[in-house]
Amino acid sequence: MSDIHLRERMMERLLGTQTRWGRFRLNCYVVWKRFAWTLVLRGTLFVKRVIDIVASGLALVLLMPLFATLAVLVKLDGGPVFFRQTRIGLLGREFKMIKYRSMVVDAEERIKALAHLNEHASGVMIKLSNDPRVTRIGRILRKSSLDELPQFWNVLVGDMSLVGPRPPIRREVALYTQADRRRFLVKPGITCLWQVGERQGGVFEIGNRHNIDFPEQVSLDMRYIESQSILKDLLILAKTIPAILFGKGF
């Protein structure tokens, strides 16, 4: 089609909206597009929630012997079995995230004295090599990511999803910019793009998450939010176990 014919077609469509019938058709089209988009979005969220419920429920049942064994080991190390911490989730709502305790009981009180050792340049997140607050069994749990297993309960009750940005603590959120707060547009998850080290978008890409600073974490979380799909969630889940086994994730 020539440029002249193309302009003529566009003009015909534009003029068509100047009549009552034309405006009616345009309004119907807009309403239909909005309805179709809402249907797709809610359908995707529904399927995602079903997957979360089924997968977390099965994990809690099938891994019960492992849960019990880890509980005994943590208890023998002194202190409570579980560590419950207030995290910020969907739309800024607070919830209690559960983990196996991997640190000494007064770990939160000690953080101020260790802040100068923080390896995250942004200062938003805290990362310490050979953190003195980590217990003996805690080092094993963290290395293997077994301390995260109780979060299947958070997924089951709806506070979290299997895949989504990691939920921050209040101290981190207080340092967020307005752009950083876009992470609250979706439910937080157990795993995400930067947790498995996917930076370039490669299907088989698995990298070291410890090399990803906070601004890039936010960027990767936004990439996930803007292009999320059930297929993408399944790919991230499939990469999570290899990332742990090869010592590059978590």
- State which of 59-73, 118-132, 133-147 shows the largest mean pLDDT: 59-73
pLDDT tens-digit readout, 57-115: 999 999 999 999 999 999 988 889 999 999 999 999 999 999 999 888 776 766 666 65
- Find how far residue 178's CA is from the centre of its chain: 18
pLDDT over 80 (residue 142): yes
What's the chain's Rg over C-alpha atoms?
Answer: 23
Specify the pTM. 0.78
Whose tokens are 């939010």? That residue is 225
pLDDT tens-digit readout, 237-246: 999 988 887 7
Give the pLDDT score at 125.
56
pLDDT over 70 (residue 8): no
User: Which residues in 148-229 belong to E strands, given as ranges?
Assistant: 161-163, 189-191
For the stretch 141-156, what's the b/e string if a residue is b when 16 or more beta carbons lie within 10 angstroms of its beta carbon? Answer: bbeebbbbbbbbbbbb
Give the pLDDT score at 117.
54
Give the pLDDT score at 224.
93
pLDDT tens-digit readout, 44-53: 889 999 999 9
239 φ/ψ angles, rounded to the nearest 5 degrees:
-80, -20
